């Protein structure tokens, strides 16, 4: 009888111990697969939520009076060329989600009510090539505006209304009234960037560029400072602009991502260690406990390598069975829970089959190595010596 057939018969004969091995492997590989699959979704969710904290870098005209700029709540009439956006992209600056903006103040008229408001023209966020492209800011339809909650209340416009208002002599439909967020945006009007440039006769000009830096984690490893890196990059591109970095916001975003990633990695490493210990212990124990069978098989004419193959085949088959069940269950449960766990990105989560395959391959290799060494040692001894000692 060939070793594979003998292995299957042996597994069926000792089905209880085989089932126990398969269940233990399935439980651990299932948990490891669950966290491995969730890791991708978790990182995407953290990135999305960290991104939604807001831009932590502002690029403003170099000639701007910063004291006056901050005194006016981050508003200024000074502009710079919009070509800087394309220059930053071509240079591949350490930024992402660039949002060029142009701001002016003007009268907003609705019926008999009038309010002086901050008119903000902005484009959809522009991703850097090769970096995450999920839009941070969507474009605003041409000919339509979005109103801050306080401005809408000042003009007497309710949330469910979409009337027409007048800005600088032109009429625009209100597409929506934004929810209050407790900032100057509650008293502002938002339009498409090109519309505002045309409305105020400042074509190809912008007031500032808001963006998210991509240097925090790299700078922590090298000891460099993000603001210095960004300032040096901008200086190589132009001398007409400078960078303001929102330090606390940048630190908060970086800490959220680093802490969450490191904690999940620690949990995964613990599961890897548990998987290795369990498989090595079970496979080695099976080989050591069955030394007498090694002697009997050798006495019946089975060579050393056929005996080793028998034990390794048993461990590998049970591990593959357990790993297949565990990986399938872990991946399925992770996918089912993704929408409830990850509100922003759960609907787009897919199973990371590469991670699942790695779990299965590593588990199988561990089983093969753990069972082959003890069985090889036993197979190299004389059968009479093994049988005699057992008796």
243-259 confidence digits (pLDDT tens): 888 777 666 666 666 77
What are 201's two structure tokens? 């006769």
Q: What is the mean pLDDT of the chain?
A: 77
Q: What pTM does this model have?
A: 0.63
Nearest C-alpha neighbor of 102 from the set 14, 188, 5, 28: 188
**H or E segment to which residue 244 belongs:** strand 241-245
Distance CA 317, CA 18 (A): 10
Distance CA 36, CA 353 (A): 10
pLDDT band at 7 (very low <50, low <70, confident <90, very high): low
300-313 confidence digits (pLDDT tens): 455 555 666 666 77
What pLDDT is attached to residue 386? 46
Least confidently predicted of 53-62, 105-114, 289-298, 367-376: 289-298
365-379 confidence digits (pLDDT tens): 777 766 665 555 555
Residue 274 vs residue 339, higher pLDDT: 274
What pLDDT is attached to residue 391? 47
What pLDDT is attached to residue 337? 72
Coil, strand or helix: which one is 98?
Answer: strand
pLDDT band at 9 (very low <50, low <70, confident <90, very high): low
What pLDDT is attached to residue 167? 93
105-161 confidence digits (pLDDT tens): 999 999 889 999 999 999 988 888 876 666 667 888 888 999 999 999 999 998 888
Distance CA 199, CA 181 (A): 27
Distance CA 111, CA 317 (A): 79
Rounded (10°) angle between helices 353-379 and 15-51:
150
Residue 268 vs residue 216, higher pLDDT: 268
What are 384's two structure tokens? 């009479």
Each domain of the chain, given as residue ranges in start order, spans 3-49+255-390, 57-245
pLDDT at 347 over 60: no
* Cα dihedral 239, 230, 132, 136 in deg (nearest 10): -70
Distance CA 269, CA 235 (A): 43
Least confidently predicted of 188-202, 213-227, 273-287: 213-227
pLDDT band at 40 (very low <50, low <70, confident <90, very high): low
Mean pLDDT of 315-329: 81
Report the percent of the chain where pLDDT is more than 90. 25
Residue 11 vs residue 192, higher pLDDT: 192
Distance CA 2, CA 9 (A): 11
pLDDT band at 345 (very low <50, low <70, confident <90, very high): low
What are 165's two structure tokens? 């208002």
Phi, psi of 170 (to 5 degrees): -115, 155
What pLDDT is attached to residue 384? 46
């Amino acid at each position: 009888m060939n070793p594979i057939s003998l292995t299957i018969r042996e597994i069926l004969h000792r089905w209880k111990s085989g089932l126990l091995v398969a269940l233990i492997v399935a439980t651990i590989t299932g948990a490891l697969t669950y966290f491995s699959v969730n890791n991708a979704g978790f990182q995407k969710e953290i990135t999305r939520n960290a991104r939604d904290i807001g831009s932590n870098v502002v690029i403003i005209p170099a000639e701007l009076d910063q004291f006056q700029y901050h005194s006016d709540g981050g508003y200024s009439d000074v502009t710079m060329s919009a070509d800087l956006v394309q220059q930053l992209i071509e240079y591949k600056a350490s930024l992402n989600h660039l949002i060029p903006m142009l701001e002016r103040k003007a009268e907003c008229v609705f019926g008999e009510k009038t309010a002086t408001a901050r008119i903000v023209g902005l484009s959809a966020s522009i991703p850097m090539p090769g970096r995450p492209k999920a839009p941070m800011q969507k474009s605003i339809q041409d000919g339509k505006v979005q109103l801050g909650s306080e401005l809408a209340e000042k003009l007497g416009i309710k949330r469910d209304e979409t009337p027409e208002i007048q800005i600088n002599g032109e009429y625009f439909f209100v597409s929506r009234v934004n929810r209050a967020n407790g900032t100057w945006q509650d008293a502002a009007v938002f339009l498409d960037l090109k519309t505002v440039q045309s409305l105020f006769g400042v074509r190809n000009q912008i007031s500032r560029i808001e963006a998210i830096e991509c240097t925090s984690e790299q700078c922590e490893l090298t000891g460099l400072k993000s603001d210095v890196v960004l300032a040096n990059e901008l200086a190589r591109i132009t001398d007409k602009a400078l960078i303001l970095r929102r330090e606390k916001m940048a630190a908060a975003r970086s800490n959220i991502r680093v802490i969450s990633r490191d904690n999940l990695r620690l949990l995964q490493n613990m599961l890897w260690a548990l998987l290795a210990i369990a498989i090595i212990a079970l496979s080695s124990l099976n080989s050591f406990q069955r030394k007498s069978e090694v002697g009997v098989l050798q006495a019946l004419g089975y060579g050393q390598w056929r005996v080793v193959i028998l034990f390794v085949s048993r461990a590998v088959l049970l591990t593959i069975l357990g790993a297949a069940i565990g990986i399938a269950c872990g991946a399925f449960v992770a996918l089912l829970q993704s929408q409830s766990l990850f509100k922003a990105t759960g609907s787009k989560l897919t199973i990371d089959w590469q991670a699942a395959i790695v779990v299965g391959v590593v588990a199988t290799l561990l089983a093969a190595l753990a069972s082959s060494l003890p069985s090889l040692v036993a197979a190299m001894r004389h059968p009479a010596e093994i049988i005699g000692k057992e008796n």
